[in-house]
Amino acid sequence: MSKKSRSRLWFLVHSWLALPVWFFLLIICVTGTLATVSQEIVWLANPDVRASKPSDDAQRLSFGQVLEAINRAEPELIVQSIGRPDEDHFALTVNVSYPDGSSPSLYVNPYSGEIQGVSPEFDFRQFTRALHGWWLVPFTNGYSWGWYLVSLMGLPMLLSLITGLVVYKKFWKGFFSPRLRVGQGARIFWGDFHRLSGIWSIWFIAVISITGVWFLIQAILGDTHVSISTEGVPPVVAREEVPLAPSAAEVPRISLDAAVLKAAEVIPGLEPSFVGLPGYAYGHYSVWGRGWYPLMFQSASINPYNGDIDATRLLSDRSGLEFVTESMRPLHTGDFGGLWIKLLWFIFGLLLSMMVLSGLLIWTKRTAQATVAATRRPARAPKPAPIIATREISESHP
């Protein structure tokens, strides 16, 4: 075998070894696309998740009214937190604990305060996100190797985007004169589709790949105990501010709605979407929500006894690095602007999955053809006819 043939053979082996990588990337893209709308799929399948209006003119209850309704329905439970999804058609998610030690999550109707059902410990939404995010590998000591394996795929995606723009000369022309030839063979169709979908998905591929690389960096920083947070130590209520009472039920506290109003006073434009109740005597009310910048939450810790704001976490409190890194996760998942943003992420997720599939089909067919050509023994050239001397010819033909 010549040196050139050996080099070509090694190149083909290298190409075939890349097949599992790109197939794995295809699965990640498909599961990520499903994870984007997994909450909506659960809403379609489970009536308990729906925020059904008891009447057309029904108004949503405040957090305090929801708390009162739950306590009336089941006085023995302790409410730990109440979460309000961004979309109004979802029920509230309330984390509670019972005297027997169980701590389920309940679905509560935001209009009536009725407990509609119990959230499964591992539903379809959690399954798709775990499958996409860390390949269902458990976190036993730091980040799982599944998290590393998935987030590592951000690097070939980013490199493929860069090399694709370099290879496809004057790619911007595809925006103005798109070409998708149908009826001229599978190879031509998939080639046009791959280029066309790549052009229209440039921004989306950049977002997904860059945020994916950040998840890899995040895992490395977490496992090496390197922190970039400027948040500081969580506040606790001072001992002298905790009033004495015969029982915990008789301790005077401000209402939950009053705590939410206090948070809104110090955080302009706050839209509360999560409230946490004190879990012990020195704990605070915690109010979280988004404001003008939808990619990041702001929060306030309110003293439950006197209503003082003991701590806040505002956008201005973040460093420049934190402002960027805390925006990565909602950018990756599309979970920051309601249903329409999710649908946009879902559509481009499908497009990205089809682009990976088309590239995989093109690459596989091309590599298979090259493999067949390299392994096929070249046909022997026909043996040339004997050359008869001119003199013999002239003698035999007068």
Copy the structure tokens of residue 272.
């509360």
How many folded domains does the chain comprise?
2
Q: Is residue 90 part of a domain?
A: yes
Task: Using a cut of 0.75, tell me whether the model's pTM lies above it.
Answer: yes
Model confidence pLDDT, tens digit, residues 3-41: 556 666 665 665 566 677 888 999 999 999 999 999 999
Copy the structure tokens of residue 211.
């945020």
Q: Is residue 396 part of a domain?
A: no
Q: Is residue 70 part of a domain?
A: yes
Q: Is residue 152 part of a domain?
A: no
Residue 102 CA, distance from chain mean position: 29
Which of 283, 317, 351 is the endpoint of a domain? 317
Q: Is residue 127 part of a domain?
A: no
Note the pLDDT of residue 16: 66
Model confidence pLDDT, tens digit, residues 56-74: 888 999 999 999 999 999 9
Give 150 or 55, the one with higher predicted confidence. Answer: 150
Between CA 94 and CA 92 the distance in angstroms is: 6
Q: Is residue 350 part of a domain?
A: no
Q: Is residue 174 part of a domain?
A: no
Copy the structure tokens of residue 248.
């915990």
Q: Is residue 144 part of a domain?
A: no
Give 44 or 12, the one with higher predicted confidence. Answer: 44
Please provide the DSSP assignment of 91-142 as one string: PEEEEEE-TTS---EEEE-TTT--EEEE--SS-HHHHHHHHHHHTT---SSS
Between CA 335 and CA 39 the distance in angstroms is: 10
Give me the mean pLDDT over the 349-371 stretch: 84
Q: What is the CATH number of the domain that holds 67?
A: 3.30.505
Task: Look up the domain containing 66 and give its range.
Answer: 48-122
Q: What are the phi and psi torsion angles at 28 (to 5°)?
A: -60, -45
Which of 280, 300, 317 is the endpoint of a domain? 317
Note the pLDDT of residue 8: 65
Q: What are the phi and psi torsion angles at 154 (to 5°)?
A: -65, -30
Q: Which residues pair with 92 in a beta bridge?
A: 108
Give me the mean pLDDT over the 66-93 stretch: 95
Q: Strand 297-302 relative to strand 92-97: parallel, antiparallel, unpaired? A: unpaired
Between CA 398 and CA 157 the distance in angstroms is: 78
Between CA 273 and CA 291 the distance in angstroms is: 11
- Range of lowest pLDDT (13-27, 62-76, 82-96, 266-280): 13-27
Which of 288, 317, 346 is the endpoint of a domain? 317
Note the pLDDT of residue 113: 95
| Residue 75 pLDDT > 90 | yes
| Residue 389 pLDDT > 70 | no
